[in-house]
Amino acid sequence: MRMRARDLYRLGRELRRASRGLRFRLTATYAGLFVVLLVGAVWLARTQLSGNLDTLATESLDEDWTALKGSILRIEPAGDSGENEAWWQYDKDDPDETTFVLDIKKVLLITDSRGQVIQDHETQEPAESTIYQDLTPDRPADIQQRVRQWVKASKPGQAGRPFWMQKRDSKGNLYLIRAAVMWDEHRRAPYYVALGTSLVKNEEILRRYSVMIFAGVIPGATLLGWLVGWLVAGRALTPVRDVAQAAQRITGSNLGLRIPSRHAGDELDYLILTFNRMIERLEASFRQMKQFSADVSHELRTPITGIRGQLEVALMTAGTTEQYREAMFNALQDIDRLSQIVRALLLLSQAESGQLALLKTRLDLGLVLEDLAEQFQIPAEGAGVRLSAECARSCFVDADRVQIERMVTNLLSNALKFTPEGGEVRLRAQPLDGSVEVVVEDTGRGIPAKDLPHIFDRFYRVPGSGTAPAPEQGLGLGLSFVSWIVKAHNGVIAVRSAPGEGTRFTITLPAAGAAALPERVTEDASQTTELA
Ligand code: ADP
């Protein structure tokens, strides 16, 4: 018993899970729609059928009435009583006519205009059939009113409209009644004649039709609809399952895998394309992360190895205080570099994870840059490089002064570092339409085209050549900072460089009050960034 309860519970859980699936929901929608349409169509057909059956019964009663009124029934005075009676005129030897009259007499009522049943001359009994007596009776008052109504409505040569009623007998069988007025032989008095026909057969036809449709056709069609829907939905969802399986095979260790396209050009192909692009981006950031950890370990290992080497040598070979001092001095220099790297990395990761909040104020970039240019005059002179600043006024931007200074300082120190003696470094700031442009330009060694796309990557340094300063001097993090600062201020940076001729960095920031840069600027930047 306990086992059965557990099985039931499991079955219920499976069903619940299946009912949440897309295949189930698609099938349910399809089958539901199908059933609604089917029930609608069937109901329409039933209404049509019922209408047709009613019309047939009505027409048959109309025909009976015409025959009755035309020649078969007469209301005439009886021989001795003087009262009017219902006379039947037909050939009693003709079986067809006899059957017809017998049929008509089955559901029949003939009364005078006051609602009193008159006598049948043939049977000498009241002209009200047993079946009619069993029906809901016509009250004399109703009959009187109908007769008056009929007489009023009938114009000369034109009869009034008959009264149609549906009545049930004590067993519940339904009858259609047609009541109208007939005049006596001399058109002196109107008589009420109600003629009926059984609708039992019609009701039976409709009942059988309903049973067949609602107990057979609809459940069968629903089942079929569900089955077809289930199969169609299954077929439609197979590619989705394939895509999901292919996506499951892609893990962190095989990000190179792609979901194969079906080349159907449909929504699913679009989904696959989107998926593949997402995996591409994921792969790129995985690669970057790996590269970054390799670079960090490498960068940290070099000074650590240096420190260790110097201390070991000092321990083994140094004899004098002077030699120890020299070893410690060298070790301290390496420690300085180590802490520089760690500090820069920390700052960069804080910046990129959004922990470094910008303190934006309205700045005139022209003034800020002029101050910076002045600070750089002494190192420029020391390097034998001419530094000129051309900063227009009213270059207003909403920016964090510290970060903007860091950005320009990085660019200026790079320019000075990579420009040989006798060269020139130019700093320019000018307001443009909706933006402010800052240019740092030098006549230094330039950057080869193949390195240009990587200079903003962390730790990327262009391998040094000839007399140029050793790349180890820098950390390779300066331009990463510059790029983050520009991005954080909704700006763009473009670089143009020719080896041996010089480099030009152009930064465009939105002018104060503008949330974003004009489109023209972003397009220009994307065109120039990778140009040599
Ligand atoms: P670093 O701290 O080494 O200067 P950066 O990220 O600032 O690192 O620069 C990355 C590399 O880009 C530099 O190593 C250098 O090779 C190259 N670079 C940057 N600015 C210039 C420039 N003005 N002229 C030539 N090369 C440059």
Contacts 24+ apart (CB under 8 A), 524-527: 524/494, 525/492, 525/493, 525/494, 526/492
Q: Chain centroid to CA 421: how far?
A: 64
Backbone angles phi, psi at 282, to 5 degrees: -65, -45
Would residue 321 be called left, alpha or beta, if left means φ above 0 and alpha means ψ between -120 and 50 degrees? alpha
Here the tokens at position 279 are 């995996």
CB neighbour class for 532 (10 Å; exposed up to 12, middle 13-18, buried from 19): middle
Distance (Å) from CA 339 to ligand 1 centroid: 20
Tens of pLDDT, residues 357-397: 889 999 999 999 999 999 999 999 999 999 999 999 889 99
Distance CA 442, CA 468 (A): 14
pLDDT of residue 443: 96
Cβ neighbors of 463 (< 8 A, separation 6 or more) are 471
Low-confidence ranges of the chain (pLDDT < 50): 465-472, 527, 530-532
Ligand 1 atom 13 nearest Cα = 461
Q: What is the CA radius of gyration of the chain?
A: 53
Q: Which atom of ligand 1 is nearest to the CA of 477?
A: 6
According to the model, what pLDDT value does residue 287 have? 84
Residues near 90 by beta carbon (within 8 Å), at least 6 away in sequence: 72, 97, 98, 100, 101
3-class secondary-structure state, position 322? helix
Q: Which atom of ligand 1 is nearest to the CA of 461?
A: 14
| Cα-to-centroid distance, 410 and ligand 1 (Å) | 9
Q: How far is the CA of 504 from the centre of ligand 1 (A)?
A: 12
Instruction: List pLDDT tens digits, range 455-490.
Output: 998 888 887 644 444 444 677 889 998 999 999 999
Tokens of 153: 């409505």
Closest ligand 1 atom to residue 415 Cα is 23
Residue 288: what pLDDT? 76
Q: Give the 3-state secondary structure of residue 429.
A: strand
Report CA torsion sign: 135, 138, 196, 133.
Answer: positive
Q: Which atom of ligand 1 is nearest to the CA of 463?
A: 16
Q: How confident is the model at residue 532, as a pLDDT? A: 28
* Per-residue pLDDT, 525: 56
Ligand 1 binding residues, C-beta < 6 A? 410, 414-415, 418, 442, 444-447, 455, 460-462, 471, 474-480, 503
- Scanning the structure block, which residue is given the tokens 């007025």? 181
CA gap 206, 399 in Å, rounded: 84
